[in-house]
Structure 1
Amino acid sequence: MIVDKMPSWTDPDRASIARRLARRARTVRVSDAVATAALLVALHASGLSRSARDAAIAITDSVGLPRVTPGMPAPLMSHASLSISVQAASLFLALALAGAIVSMPFTYIGGFRLARSVGLGTQSTGAWVRDYAVASMLGAALVAILAGLVGWVSADAPHLWWVAATILGTIGTVVLTHLAPVLILPLFYKVTPLPDGPVRARLLDLTMLARTTVRGCDVIDQSRRSLTANAGIIGIGRTRRIMVTDTLLEGGYSTAEIASILAHELGHHVHGDMFWAIAVDGILLAGCLAMTESLRGWLAPLIGLGGAGDLAGIPAMVLMFGVVSALTMPLRAGVSRWRESRADSYGVQLTQDPEAWVRTLERLGWQNLAEVDPPRWIEWATYTHPSIARRIASARGTGLETPPSMPGV
């Protein structure tokens, strides 16, 4: 069993290993952000962003699209707006790929070497490089498509690009969430049906009790990459499916413990957290993008930016957006922790078994080498889930009610 590959659950050094791992991972993430910011500053300060813009204009010239003066409006859905769309897509594609190259060593250290150093990682270096390349190219392509669409629909009102970006970005999130189980997940994992048996029967019984419809119950081969374990529900509508990692099934967890994880996930669906998250994230995205546009207008004379439609300003705009997003992280994290706490409570009421949930949290914390009780300020500023220590304390203090017979009870 996979659990046999893990250190003892009662290893007294494991908590210190988890703390050290978390500290190193945070250091790598900050270093990655600093390196990415340095890339954006260098692109703008060196004039490379203007050279890239001119190269993009040359591309549209070569295919016969009309030349548009940088920063000037173009009629909506015209050849001129198509020219802006192609330029925006090509520039964001290049920037996304450059960012992936800069981030690669940090992701390698933080997402591969650290896991291998503590016995969690099982993936070969070659397989990791393949996954990173596929994810980077897919991400760059999606960014380019979104940028092209934003450039196209906002060509006649460049100063309102942030409105178009918010609307199209939110629509894109819904589409990707729908397609993830059938198109994206299989690119990285082998997905097989969960065999009939007590675990499958219990999981499907819980979905019926919660009055949530799923289209299947599958296993993903997490063990090819890591010994970490989890379960969840992914997709929306006709693609909604239960996903369980093989590391969870082979990790010695009881049926009740596996069911307690799904019960938590069902809490999100019963409360509509996915759609609320998309809506709230859309509002926050609009705010961040609007603030970015305001900053652009304020800083433009100081740092040599053109008008809102001048694509040479893309690196500077991305940097501004990153800073604004970082400042809103505590708010986004706090809203997410509230949702997670509510789902925890629902899951306990659904299973009527708080002790199974406590055992699961303890074991997942050990198996995944999670920092059980992180510094309070770090949890407040960055954690999307309450710490394991807080979740366990909350579960132990939960008073059981009548078993739920309908969503929201």
Structure 2
Amino acid sequence: MWFMLGFGIYGALMWYYLFHGADSALPVDLKGSAADPAMFMTDRELELSTDFSRIKDFLYFISVPLEWMIYLFVLGFGLSKWFRKASSGLTRFSIVHTAVYVLLLSFASWVLTFPLRYYSFTVSKSYNISVQSFHSWMRDGLVDFWISWALTTLMVGVMYWLIKKYEKRWWLFAWLLSIPFTVFLYFIQPVVIDPLYNKFYPLQDEALKEKILNIAEKAEIPAENVYEVNMSEKTNALNAYVNGIGSNLRIVLWDTTLNKLSDNQVLFVMAHEIGHYVMNHLYWNLISSIVLSFLGLWLGNIIYRKWIVKYGKTWGIKGVGDLAALPALLLIFSLLSFVVSPVENAVSRKAERDADQYAIQMTKNPEAAVGAFQQLATVSLSEVNPPKIVKWFLYGHPTMLERIHFLDSYNTGKTLDKEQLPY
């Protein structure tokens, strides 16, 4: 109950900060520059970008503690005990108990968060960012639900088996098993998971494909094709990426990006994505994920044990190996993830800046680079200079203000001092 009261006060303060108290004024020395949104957005677009960004930011900062409150609700009101009892009475196979328990917990969370997710969907529709039908949106949500349920069931089943077998060192064995599992997910995502949501096909523009593959060849990327994904039936936003590892590496462009950007702008965007590959950011992401999972499991185990000792009886939990304690473990992992996210985002922003510099050195076309980000900001209604808290917790990329200013002031012919180089 105290948490619910605190949640209400927090929501009110966050609303005031985002809609009235946050300072996102443009620095005086950048007014009238290419980074000034007034130079490439209409007054109406400026108004819409501010409103849309504030609403989406507020929904994020509300959704995170809402997840925590749901876990506490499930524990505090005895639902977790009921889920355990309902699942254990079906069969003697523990994996079935786990699957049913996770299904009940996931469904409860899905139902309780549905109003917020639906509101977020309607906001994107009303601001013409999303053009997705409700049927298509629900389909994607259900695909998300079942994929998450299957993966969570597998991980939880293994984790609680380890807790029962190696009570003190379960987290270490769980981490060791997570390494090949994480690598496997990185490998199969482009060819197994991504196609569940959208249609992928070879890029239709042969001339543009050849130009992109020429850049990839210069960068020594083992890519034989460029893929286009049909996102225009869902969104007006723009995106492109290089993902996967080994033989499953894929260069992907959203069709919205192809429709909205010129060829030179697309080439800059793709050079940026290729820069991630050249500088091994995909592998560094994999390594950092493995390192963070080690720290998270180690620290999470310590907190988990203390919570079970302190609150176990109140929650009706029999011990650390009780499946009914899963919401507590998920709550701990969510809290740790939230706390570490500003650090992860800062590292990610550095990598994105490196990729921007690589792309400008590769294409030597600052005008196309600046134009690409101006168009991206306009189409996506992105706030060019968001509040600091929003940047810390939500921005894995530099802000549009930072990116456009950097590219606009970058002279491809100058020699940078070592201290000026981002990598």
When normalised by structure 2's length, the TM-score is: 0.82
Give the match for residue 300 of structure 1. Answer: 308
1:159/1:308 contact within 8 Å kept: no
Q: In structure 2, what residue type is equivalent to 1:232? A: Y
1:353 and 2:365 correspond: yes
> Hey, what's the Cα distance between the residues in 1 that align with 2:205 and 2:65?
49
The one-character-per-residue Cα deviations of 1:186-209 (angstroms, maximum 9, x if unpaired) are: 222122211243211111111011
Q: In structure 1, what residue type is equivalent to 2:127? A: V
Tell me, what secondary structure is at the counterpart of 2:290? helix
Give the match for residue 182 of structure 1. Answer: 191
What is the correspondence of 1:7-406 to structure 2 with a 5 Å cutoff? 10-61=41-92, 65=93, 83=94, 85-110=95-120, 112-251=121-260, 253-304=261-312, 305-400=317-412
Between 1:294-303 and 1:241-250, the stretch displaced more is 294-303
Tell me, what secondary structure is at the counterpart of 2:220? coil
Between 1:225-234 and 1:95-104, the stretch displaced more is 95-104
1:267/1:347 contact within 8 Å kept: yes
> Hey, what's the Cα distance between the residues in 2 that align with 1:164 and 1:59?
29
Give the match for residue 18 of structure 2. Answer: none
Please report how far the alpha carbon of residue 316 of structure 1 lies from its aligned counterpart in structure 2 after TM superposition.
1.4
1:49/1:312 contact within 8 Å kept: yes
> Hey, what's the Cα distance between the residues in 2 that align with 1:185 and 1:296?
34
CA 1:97–1:275 in 2, change beyond 3 Å: closer, same or farther?
farther
Tell me, what secondary structure is at the counterpart of 2:251? strand
CA 1:28–1:243 in 2, change beyond 3 Å: closer, same or farther?
same
Tell me, what secondary structure is at the counterpart of 2:266? helix
> Hey, what's the Cα distance between the residues in 2 that align with 1:294 and 1:22?
38
> Hey, what's the Cα distance between the residues in 1 that align with 2:166 and 2:225?
45
Q: In structure 1, what residue type is equivalent to 2:200? A: V
Count of residues paired in the alignment:
375
Please report how far the alpha carbon of residue 370 of structure 1 lies from its aligned counterpart in structure 2 after TM superposition.
1.1
> Hey, what's the Cα distance between the residues in 1 that align with 2:392 and 2:124?
25
Q: In structure 1, what residue type is equivalent to 2:113? A: S
Give the match for residue 78 of structure 1. Answer: none
Between 1:271-280 and 1:293-302, the stretch displaced more is 293-302
CA 1:369–1:105 in 2, change beyond 3 Å: closer, same or farther?
same
CA 1:168–1:195 in 2, change beyond 3 Å: closer, same or farther?
same
1:86/1:148 contact within 8 Å kept: no
Give the match for residue 419 of structure 2. Answer: none
Q: In structure 1, what residue type is equivalent to 2:371? A: R
Please report how far the alpha carbon of residue 15 of structure 1 lies from its aligned counterpart in structure 2 after TM superposition.
2.2
2:213/2:224 contact within 8 Å kept: no
Q: In structure 2, what residue type is equivalent to 1:298? A: K
CA 1:12–1:140 in 2, change beyond 3 Å: closer, same or farther?
same
The one-character-per-residue Cα deviations of 1:18-52 (angstroms, maximum 9, x if unpaired) are: 12111111222233223322221121112221232
CA 1:160–1:26 in 2, change beyond 3 Å: closer, same or farther?
farther
Give the match for residue 7 of structure 2. Answer: none
CA 1:13–1:168 in 2, change beyond 3 Å: closer, same or farther?
farther
1:93/1:140 contact within 8 Å kept: yes
In structure 1, stretches of 5+ residues that fail to align are 1-7, 66-82
> Hey, what's the Cα distance between the residues in 2 that align with 1:377 and 1:47?
35
Please report how far the alpha carbon of residue 293 of structure 1 lies from its aligned counterpart in structure 2 after TM superposition.
1.5
Please report how far the alpha carbon of residue 351 of structure 1 lies from its aligned counterpart in structure 2 after TM superposition.
1.2
Between 1:172-181 and 1:364-373, the stretch displaced more is 172-181
> Hey, what's the Cα distance between the residues in 2 that align with 1:26 and 1:337?
18
1:191/1:220 contact within 8 Å kept: yes
Please report how far the alpha carbon of residue 306 of structure 1 lies from its aligned counterpart in structure 2 after TM superposition.
4.1
When normalised by structure 1's length, the TM-score is: 0.85
Between 1:350-359 and 1:52-61, the stretch displaced more is 52-61
Please report how far the alpha carbon of residue 263 of structure 1 lies from its aligned counterpart in structure 2 after TM superposition.
0.6
> Hey, what's the Cα distance between the residues in 2 that align with 1:338 and 1:363?
22
> Hey, what's the Cα distance between the residues in 1 that align with 2:196 and 2:243?
15
2:243/2:282 contact within 8 Å kept: no
2:385/2:399 contact within 8 Å kept: yes
CA 1:165–1:59 in 2, change beyond 3 Å: closer, same or farther?
farther
Q: In structure 2, what residue type is equivalent to 1:199? A: L
> Hey, what's the Cα distance between the residues in 2 that align with 1:325 and 1:116?
29
Tell me, what secondary structure is at the counterpart of 2:237? coil
Please report how far the alpha carbon of residue 401 of structure 1 lies from its aligned counterpart in structure 2 after TM superposition.
5.8
CA 1:108–1:172 in 2, change beyond 3 Å: closer, same or farther?
farther
The one-character-per-residue Cα deviations of 1:346-393 (angstroms, maximum 9, x if unpaired) are: 111111222211111111111111111101232123311110110111
2:238/2:254 contact within 8 Å kept: yes
